[in-house]
Structures are given as C-alpha cells and as structure tokens.
C-alpha cells in the first residue's frame, strides 16, 4: 500500500511537470507514436481488408499473415530495425515496428466487418442496380464500420502498451520513467509510470468504445419492444 501511495505522490509531484521528460511531454510523445503508427497501419490495412471482404480473395493468406504478425516480438523487432535503419533513424524504426503490430487487428476488423454482413442485404443492393463500388461504399462499409472501429480500438491499445518500449532506444514517452526506475531501483517511479500508461489505455479504450457504439447504423439496432395496443391483442373466443 505504501508503494502505491509513493507512486501516486511521485506521479503527481510538481517535479513531473518540468525537466527533460516532463509528464505532459512524455504523454504527447506516447500519443504521437501511438496515433502515427495506427494511422499508417490503417492506411495499409483498411483498403486491403475491404478488398478481401468484398471479393473474398486472399482470406486465408490474410489470416495467416495476421497470426504471424501477432507473434512478432516487439522489442526484438525494434532493435532489429534500429540496426537496419541506423541509429539516426530510431523514430522511424520504432514507428515501423508499431505499424507491424497494429496491422493485424485493423486488417481483421476491416474484412470481418464486411464478411459478417448478411449476403441477402448485398444481393438486394445488387438487384437494385448498384455497382460493386456502390455496394462497398453504401452497404458494406457502413455496416462493417463497428467491427472496423473495434479493430482500430484493439490496435490502439496494443500500441499504447508496446510504445513503452520506445524508451529502450531513447525515444522518450511514458516508458522512459519505467525503464529509468528499473535501472535506479526506484520502484515508486516504475509503478507510477505503469499507472500512467494504464490510465492512458483506459481513457483511449473508453473513447473508442463510445465511437464504436456511435458507428452502429441506426437501422441495425434492435428496436425496443413495443407494448401491445388493445386492438392488436389476440382475441380468444
């Protein structure tokens, strides 16, 4: 209990608002790595996922690649990319690693959202004379949006947790306090940094939960049960 109190005291101390790795600056750096990586991953994975879901081609390959990418060791991948790209390109190496981590969740959300749509709905759109692009943009993309947002939500949480590793290559962020605390054996600092990362993850998860709920098309929500009117009640002889 004393460790938790010390961690909270360290986290909210005035010293955390200044210095080379002040809490606001570390938070902004962490958010930058997270959203830059997820944005790049989304630009790659969403079109590919929509193509797979719309055409049905390459589903098995996408599943295999997604599973293999999830098994990549993030820390080892960051160090490998730093060695390959050079020390001067450490930010690019870290973001590349985070992009590879975020792609599987977004890709799965994109093609699963379309694949889960009732085929009769798509057939009805084609019967009305819609082209393939119109079916994609007017039917498949809106109906598949909740699962896509769910994939983005999962990717953001994964990158937020993994972005702490960026501090291992001196890129800052909320992970810097954790790593420095381990080296200095200041466990209140380690716990304080971990609490900051956990709090950020919870806030982002809540935001994306609201977005995911708002992305559900109104017509697909189950209507509330309506009380039977007197003239609609079954009459028994």
Q: What digits encode the pLDDT tens for the residues 199-218?
A: 999 999 999 999 999 988 87
Q: How far is Cα of residue 213 from the mean position of the Cα atoms in its chain?
A: 15
Using the 8-state DSSP alphabet, how is residue 10 labeled?
A: H
Classify domain 26-215 by CATH architecture.
Orthogonal Bundle (1.10)
CA dihedral 193, 198, 204, 209 (to 10 degrees): 180
Q: Using one digit for the tens of pLDDT, what is the confidence trace for 95-114? A: 888 998 899 899 989 988 88
Q: Using one digit for the tens of pLDDT, what is the confidence trace for 11-49? A: 888 887 777 678 888 899 899 999 999 999 999 999 999
Res. 233: pLDDT tops 50: no
Using the 8-state DSSP alphabet, how is residue 73 labeled?
A: -
Cα–Cα dist 114/128, whole Å: 19
User: Which contacts (CB < 8 Å, 24+ apart) does range 205-212 have?
Assistant: 205/153, 205/157, 208/149, 208/152, 208/153, 208/156, 209/153, 211/149, 211/153, 212/146, 212/149, 212/150, 212/153
Neighbours of 156 (CB within 10 A): 22
Confirm if 16 and 102 have CB atoms less than 8 A apart.
no
Q: Which tokens is 8 given?
A: 């909270």
Residue found under tokens 């057939």? 123
For residue 149, the SS3 value is: helix
Domain borders along the chain are 26-215
Confirm if 21 and 179 have CB atoms less than 8 A apart.
no
Q: Using one digit for the tens of pLDDT, what is the confidence trace for 131-142? A: 888 888 888 889
Res. 228: pLDDT tops 60: no
């Amino acid at each position: 209990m004393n460790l938790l109190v010390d961690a909270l005291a360290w986290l909210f101390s005035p010293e955390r608002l200044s210095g080379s790795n002040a809490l606001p600056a570390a938070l902004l750096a962490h958010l930058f790595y997270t959203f830059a990586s997820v944005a790049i991953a989304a630009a790659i994975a969403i079109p590919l996922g929509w193509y797979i879901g719309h055409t049905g081609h390459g589903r098995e390959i996408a599943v295999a690649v997604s599973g293999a990418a999830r098994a990549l060791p993030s820390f080892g991948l960051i160090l490998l990319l730093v060695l390959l790209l050079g020390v001067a390109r450490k930010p690019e190496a870290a973001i590349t690693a985070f992009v590879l981590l975020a792609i599987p969740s977004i890709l799965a959300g994109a093609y699963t959202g379309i694949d889960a749509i009732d085929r009769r709905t798509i057939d009805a759109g084609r019967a009305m004379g819609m082209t393939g692009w119109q079916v994609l943009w007017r039917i498949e993309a809106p109906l598949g949006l909740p699962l896509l947002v769910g994939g983005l939500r999962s990717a953001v949480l994964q990158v937020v947790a993994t972005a702490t590793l960026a501090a291992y290559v001196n890129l800052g962020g909320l992970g810097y306090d954790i790593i420095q605390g381990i080296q200095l054996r200041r466990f209140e600092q380690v716990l304080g940094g971990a609490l900051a990362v956990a709090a950020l993850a919870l806030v982002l998860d809540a935001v994306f939960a609201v977005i995911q709920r708002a992305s559900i098309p109104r017509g697909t929500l189950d209507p509330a049960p309506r009380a039977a009117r007197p003239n609609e009640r079954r009459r028994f002889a």
